[in-house]
Amino acid sequence: MGIKLEEYPVKKIIKRDGRVVDFDHLRVREAIKKAMISVDKYDENLLNQVVEYVLQVIAEKYGATRTPHVEDVQDIVEFALVRFDLYEVAKSYILYRKQRERIRKEKMLILETDYLDEVDKRFSVNALRLMASRYLLKNEEGKLAERPKQLFQRVAALIVIPDILYDPQIFDKEGKQKIHPQESFNPELWAGKVGLGREGQGYQVYWNRWHLERMKKLYDNLNSQGMMRHPWSVFWEMLLSGVFDHHYKDYLSYYNLMVEKKFMPNSPTLFNAGARLGQLSACFVLPIEDNIESIMRAATEAAIIFKSGGGIGINYSKLRPEGDVVFSTSGVASGPVTFMRIIDTVTEVVKQGGKRRGANMGILEVWHPDIEKFIRGKEREGFLENFNISVLIDDKFMKCLETDTPYELRNPRDNKVWGVKSPSHLFHLIAEMAWKTADPGVLFLENINRRNPLRKALGEIRSTNPCGEEPLYEYESCNLGSLNLYAFVKSTERGREIDWDGLREAVSIAYRFLDNVIDVNNYPLQSIDEMSKKTRRIGLGFMGLADLLFALRIPFNSEEGFELMQKITEFIAYHTYSESIERAKTRGVFPLYWQSSYVKGQLPLEGFYRRELWTMDWERIAEDAKQYGIRNSFLMSIAPTGSISMLADTSSGLEPVFALIYEKHVTVGVFHYIDPEFENYLKEAGLHNEQIFKMVADNGGSIQGLDVFPEEARRVFVVAYDIPWWDHVRAQYHVGLWVDAAVSKTINMPSWVTVEDVKNAYLFAYRLGLKGITIYRDLSKSTQVLVTPSQRESRYITTVENKTLEIMRGLAVEVKVPSAETVRTAALPVQASLAEVQVEPIVSFELGGNGGKYSICPECRGRNLIWQEGCVRCLDCGWTSCVIS
């Protein structure tokens, strides 16, 4: 290029919001390049000529004394494109400018502002609309009281507080300090007057009263353990004098991780960090004993948790069965299912944090005499609407099933046998009800506890949170967060690759973020506070897997795909464990560490016991955990991410993309939503036009069966119902190898599967060692809004070769892969195949544990509701009934 950029006279440019920033010629180049590519007119030499001409015109017009406005520069670009006879490129550039202007105006309308800052610009219209409706704090008039930037500042400003109080200048890990007398402190007096990042007479970020309140609570807690070197007043003087200012970099690391969309914590953290409620965890498990006092206490505690923004799981197996004697009243017991209705009613009337109804997981163990009534619990319309239900199955039952031996049912009151049942009858009933209603799910007791590091100290885990990805002890909580894998795709000379170094750095920061949550969380009950700090459980997971695989052009259910998702999970687990060990060296181990299996060098990861699978040095991790200890009892969980993945503009959790393109209904009209990575492909392939958008949307969001797309594209760009259900199970297995808690995954099944398919899914999951499984058969809860060719043709039509069926045969699970003809003529137990069903918009969802029955989205009034990750989710606005995502 003829112009020497170091001598270029124009150094600054005026942005639309009035800010004056450095002039970056590369942005001019990138904009012209994109316009060329969009109309298939990219030419490197011509691009260089146009850019040089644009820069010359700007230099001649403004020189070193005047500063151009961004609109002036764009006008010059348009003129240059026309001058070089690039009329199609100029048209594309003009349309792009108009589109960007429309987006800017829409964003400003959503955020109730007349300008956009650098954070507003990073997030899409979809993400900002979701933030404004759900996450941003509002004043008493219902107007926005903060912007996205302030949201992430508010969260990061809370999360950095433990880094300050665990600083060795104030913290003594050994706990050998004298306990200092309690000192009074009024956080309101200091709110908005002290913070981090000194800037002249002020700070870059300020703490509010809720931040300061949590700071004092953490100080008092550590002080009570003899871990504070100085009294509160001395600490406070140190803070004001700048002793801890270096922790501003920690604050920035948390803030940037969220703003750059590399990581998001679970929704309650975004709602409540630095706000009045201060409750940061998504899910809890409560105990319930066989007496009315315990039952009513559980109802009260559930109400408190729902009010704070959480969901609960309860194992009801300790309650005596229906018809049993009640000695205190000489009456007859009504059984656990009846008492579940009490919690269901509480859920109905108490909104979570004033935002939505709560969610429940109801569990009954398969030996309970009321098990059949429980299995049928969701069969009746309007019953237990606010529950997910799961049957907890033990190995004894599975052995009886395999040998067709009668299975004993026992009364929990006295452990006496109340009768026997055919295990095959119960197993069939579970599958049939799941086939009809998507409930119950299935949990496997021994699979959950096989590697449980706290089994010796606390016994077996027998409950989970509402979505099943966190098996929890009574009064435990889970605070979760998800890395956005799609954010770590980078372009190199070799093509697109995973930025492993960037991912490792993000894992380190995300781990520290979640560990800090434990210390500044305002738990809803004292018993939960105590238990959560005994185990210090966190759950780091991911989202964006499907988009990452799209970007790398790897089919989701190919052997390469399964291998990569396993490798990624192992990589995250390895570095999370490594960070937890490092933090134990400076802050101490979790209190129950000495009673755990870590002291023997045993890790709660199934993959650890499969040395042939290792790609990392797990021997070092085990030895270090044994020698130095570890900060947290559990570290990994793959949770639902419906809303937070929409904030990050990526795919949800471990799930495949639900639709590549669909019609999105918003207040200003209807337009086509396109998966971002699929849109990149369409542009590269010269297929980015309205005709293609409509074709794919009308095909249920799938490209299967559309000859305009080459076979390789049809193999890569698969949606949930393109993938055989057995490959969904296998994906959960490969990721679960390196997850110590559990994995939330919907096993999507088309409407034409049989009850036998559901039973085979359960057997496959059990024999693979999965901790639980949730199936969702299309049409079992509603009319489906998106109908793919696999659903319409009553067969899987995607051809991705893998070894899944071979693995199933090796585990003695036989599956008949249907052809279209055999399925259409099969006699389905309840309703006809999808080929005979008139497709129409969703009428309603009867979904347990997810806030009840919805005929339309309660947020945007749209009808694009889907069922994913155990939750109702709106495709239009991102609203979800899930407490986590």
CA dist 448 → 460, 665, 739 (Å)? 9, 41, 11
Pairing type for strands 283-285 and 311-315 reads parallel
What's the sign of the alpha-carbon dihedral 220, 223, 224, 225?
Answer: positive
Burial 518-554 (b: 16+ CB within 10 A, else e): bbbbbbbbeebbebbbbbbbbbbbbbbbbbbbbbbeb
CA–CA dist 305, 312 (Å, integer): 8
Contacts from 110-119 at CB under 8 Å and sequence distance 24+?
111/144, 111/147, 111/148, 112/143, 112/144, 113/147, 115/16, 115/17, 115/18, 116/16, 116/17, 117/17, 117/147, 117/149, 118/149, 119/147, 119/148, 119/149, 119/152, 119/259
CA–CA dist 281, 520 (Å, integer): 11
What H or E segment, with its residue span, contains residue 510? Answer: helix 500-520
CA dist 616 → 100, 460, 621, 657, 793 (Å)? 45, 29, 9, 29, 44
CA–CA dist 681, 674 (Å, integer): 11
CA–CA dist 855, 847 (Å, integer): 11
CA–CA dist 263, 572 (Å, integer): 13
What's the sign of the alpha-carbon dihedral 647, 652, 654, 657?
Answer: negative
CA–CA dist 664, 864 (Å, integer): 8
What H or E segment, with its residue span, contains residue 206? Answer: strand 202-206
The three-point CA angle 263-266-268 to 5° equals 135
Residues tagged active-site: 465, 467, 469
- Placement of tokens 């299996």 in the chain: 597
- Placement of tokens 């599975």 in the chain: 398
The three-point CA angle 477-481-486 to 5° equals 160
